[in-house]
Amino acid sequence: MRRPHPLLLALPLALLLQAASAAPLPAAARAEIEALLARLQASGCEFNRNGSWHAGAEARAHLLKKLDVMAGRGLVASAEQFIERGAASSSMSGQPYRVRCAGQVPVDSAPWLKAELQALRAARAASSPR
């Protein structure tokens, strides 16, 4: 009787370990990401994706779809991870996403979203009882 190659035996174990490590997105992280995307929508800024400018509502809808896909695959566990892995650039073209607010030059989305995330957290901390 011929024995299977050791790599063939290891593959199911590797897949099982990968599935086990794909933890669901924590509810607090999802709520924070949704609040961040609501800020983007309410900002009045435009969002550039693959060369086209979109209103904040369209940007929010697109990024929520990306979040759902990433969360379903266990690829995101925090707002920072979502910004870096999903909201910084197009997964199709690799082009960076950009944000353009009235009277300002366009900037890459990652630093803009990180700054908004910090402002969101600061506002939350200031309003929480001590």
Per-residue DSSP letters for 4-58?
PPHHHHHHHHHHHHHHHH-PPPPHHHHHHHHHHHHHHHHT--EEEETTEEE-HHH
Q: What is the pLDDT of residue 2?
A: 61
Distance of alpha carbon 129 from alpha carbon 72, whole angstroms: 34
Q: What is the pLDDT of residue 62?
A: 97
**pTM of the predicted structure, to 2 decimals:** 0.80
Give the CA angle between residues 88, 91, 95 to the nearest 5°. Answer: 60
pLDDT block averages, 10 residues each, the chain of length 130: 54 45 86 97 97 97 97 97 97 96 96 98 88
Q: What is the pLDDT of residue 129?
A: 80
Q: What is the pLDDT of residue 1?
A: 60
